Every structure is written in C-alpha cells, then in structure tokens.
Amino acid sequence: MNSRIQYRLLALTLVSLSLVSCEPEEVVVGGGVNPWRLFVSTDDSQSQIAVAELPSNSILPDGGDLLNTGGKVTHMVNFRDFLYVFTPEQHRIDVLSLKVGDDFKFVETLDFSSIEPMLEPSDISFGNATTGYITFSNSSTVIVLDVTTIGGDASLCRLCDELEAGQNPVAITVLENRMFVANQGDNSVTVINTPTGLTSTISGLPAAPTFIEAIPGRDQIAVLSLGAGKLEGDNREQSESILTFINAGDESIVESIPIFLTESTRLSNTPRGLVITERDYIMIPSNHYVLRLDLRNLASSPTRVLNLAVKSSVYNSIRDEVIFIDEDNRTIRVHSATGSRIASYALPASPIATLVPR
C-alpha cells in the first residue's frame, strides 16, 4: 500500500449544466468559486487514489497525491484524521493519515484474510470518536475497531470484539447510541446498542436491503431495498425497489414507498445509492435516473433530478451538495441539496470508482 506511482495529471473540466437538458452545456472558467476537494479512487483492478481540487482542474501535487492501493477500491470513508480505503477482494482496509503534513501517509492495514472465511469488508460506521463498527458482505460478523490504537503500538488489540448481525451485512449507519446494519441476505436490519453490545433484529423488509441512512431530526432510519432478481445469482423474477422507514425508538416499520418513476421501469429500476440531505430531501440514483423525495411530504410522487443512469452518489455536508458519478465513470455531477443542477466535472483520463468529499 505504501508503494507510490509517478504523479499523473487527471484533467478536470468544469461545465455549467443548463436548466433545459436539450440545450448545449456552457463551459465556465471557474473564477470566483471557492476551491474544494475530493478524494477520488479509480475504477481499476489496481485502483489509485488522489486528491482532486475543484474547480481549479487539478490533482494536488504533493508527496502523497496519487497512491496505488494494490487492489480494487470499492468504498472510502473519511472519519476525523483518517481515510479508510476498502479493498474487499484483498480482504483489507487500508488506513491513511489526513493530518496536516502527512499527505496521505500510509498508517496501517486492517487485514481480515486470516479469518475463516476470509472476510470482505463492506462498510464502517463510528459510534463515537474511539469506536468503529465494520461489516462484511460475506459474513454475519460485525467487528468492533478501537480507533485509538490506529498507528500505535502493534501489540495493542485493534479488532478485539465481534458482534452478530444478519446474513450478508452490507451497510451500516449510526443514530445516537445505536448502530443499524442492513442485512442483504435475510432482508433484515440488526440494531446494535453500542454501550451494551446487545443486538436486536428488525425482520420482514423487502428483498435485498442494501443502503441505510439515519434521519436524525425524525429519529428514523431509511432502508433502501433493491428488490428481488437484481443481485448476482438471484434468479427470481424482479420485484420493485422499496424505501422503508423505521422508527428508531420502538424499531417498528412505519412506511414503505416503491421507488420508480414510470410503469415501464417499475421492476427494472435498480437503486445505486441513498442520500439524505440536511434540507429534508432524499436523492436516489439508479440505472435509469435520479429521483428526489421530499421528507416533509412523502405522499407526493418522486420527481426526477437527472434523466440518466448514475453509478453512485455521496453527500457533501460541508458544501450542502450531492455529488453523482455517471455510469461512464468519468463524469462528476454536482447538485444542490434540493436537487437543482450546479455543475459537472469530466475526468477523461481515469474512470472513477468512488469519491469522498474532503
């Protein structure tokens, strides 16, 4: 992981998105826009990660600007002074330091290859400043990480506690003192009480719960299920994707909403992310379009934000913006937290796998 490759410029182009999609896009020369940064990983079998600064159209040139991860990166999480880089096929999470002056300094690897079966990390969430909870897509295990030991004495125990979730836990989120785990294999959510380590199960969710986010102001959890027949090896007839709302207090299911826009896409629509903004809007990218729901009026129909396939999405809470990666893996589209279009950035040199706001 600490091997480095020669600096390579990834050209970034800033484009203004016109309000009418059939009109030509206008190139903007980005004066007057405050610079901001993203961690970007490339969509390669040997992914590289870099820091992109926008809208100056540059990859930051410093000692740690571009790193070869030694595997395919599927997920990155920034928590405090560390960036957690997931390479599940290598059964590991690499930890990089983001402290001032470290410039992507490699800290250590959390290696799960010695555990049977060799675990494939899928997500991490942090119950507090010292404790992380790691899920694994090929196991029902949730491993507790002592964040205070990262980069410290190698004899200190980093991964000492294990908890039991459902089958194939793929995503995890935190709300106050509880973790909520989406179990894709048995259509359930595991609730972990972080002070006690006790767990409970919310069963009966629609097929393949894959994305999960907390809604703090409402004391609710949103779970997005893909539906049947949409995962590799699932040969069942396709069913519609469903967004389920769970009351965090009594762990009851309070509402379920089908996620599609037109009847022709009811069954084939496959979500590829779930974003909940601080403006009470939900954004759901899919293989057909990006939909927006208003948390203040869930009875209203979803509206279309983008009429194109999107690979993934992330919420930049610092700028209150939603960032989408096009299915071509080369274009980043930035929208406001209410869904209006702001700009797009093209990265023609390297396809993008995932990104994290910095």
Q: Along the 358 residues of the chain, how does pLDDT read in single tens digits?
A: 333 222 222 322 222 222 223 333 333 333 346 788 888 888 888 888 888 778 775 666 543 445 777 899 999 999 999 999 999 999 999 999 988 877 778 899 999 998 888 999 999 999 999 999 999 999 999 999 999 999 888 778 889 899 999 999 999 999 999 999 999 999 999 999 999 999 999 999 999 999 999 998 899 999 999 999 999 999 999 999 999 999 999 999 999 999 999 999 999 999 999 999 999 999 999 999 999 999 999 988 899 999 999 999 999 998 999 999 988 777 889 999 999 988 888 764 567 778 888 7
Give residue 94's identity as a one-letter amino acid code.
D
- Cβ-count burial of 21 within 10 angstroms (0-12 exposed, 13-18 middle, 19+ buried)? exposed
| Amino acid in position 231 | L
d(CA 354, CA 77): 10
What tokens does 80 get? 């405090």
From 92, 96, 101, 90, select the one nearest 2 (Cα to Cα). Answer: 96
What is the model's pLDDT at position 350? 66
Q: What's the rounded Cα separation, in Å, for the pair 94 and 110?
A: 6
Overall CATH class of domain 13-271: mainly beta
- How many C-beta neighbours within 10 Å does residue 346 have? 16
223 beta partners: 212, 244
Distance CA 136, CA 120 (A): 5
CA 85 distance to own-chain centroid: 12
Chain-centre distance for alpha carbon 54? 20
Question: What is the per-residue pLDDT for 244?
Answer: 98
Is omega for the bond preceding 117 within 30 degrees of 0, making it cis? yes
Q: How far is CA 323 from the centre of its chain?
A: 11
Cα four-point dihedral sign 195, 196, 202, 203: positive
Kindly report the backbone phi and psi dihedral angles of residue 86, in degrees, each rounded to the nearest multiple of 5, phi listed first.
-95, 125
Q: Residues near 27 by Cβ (< 8 Å), separated by ≥ 6?
A: 13, 14, 15, 16
- Quote the pLDDT of residue 211: 98
- Quick one: tokens of 273? 């992310």
- Quote the CA–CA distance of 228 and 50 in Å, as a whole number: 36
Quote the pLDDT of residue 328: 76
Strands 290-294 and 303-306: antiparallel
**What's the rounded Cα separation, in Å, for the pair 54 and 274?**
24
Question: How far out from the chain centre does Cα 71 lie?
Answer: 18
> CA separation (Å) from 149 to 98, 350, 353?
16, 35, 29
Sequence-ordered list of residues with C-beta below 8 angstroms from that of 348, at least 6 positions apart, any chain? 11, 13, 330
Q: How far apart are CA 344 and CA 308, in angstroms?
A: 14
Which amino acid, residue 274? Answer: L
The span from the CA of 297 to the CA of 205, in Å, is 22
DSSP code of 29? Answer: -
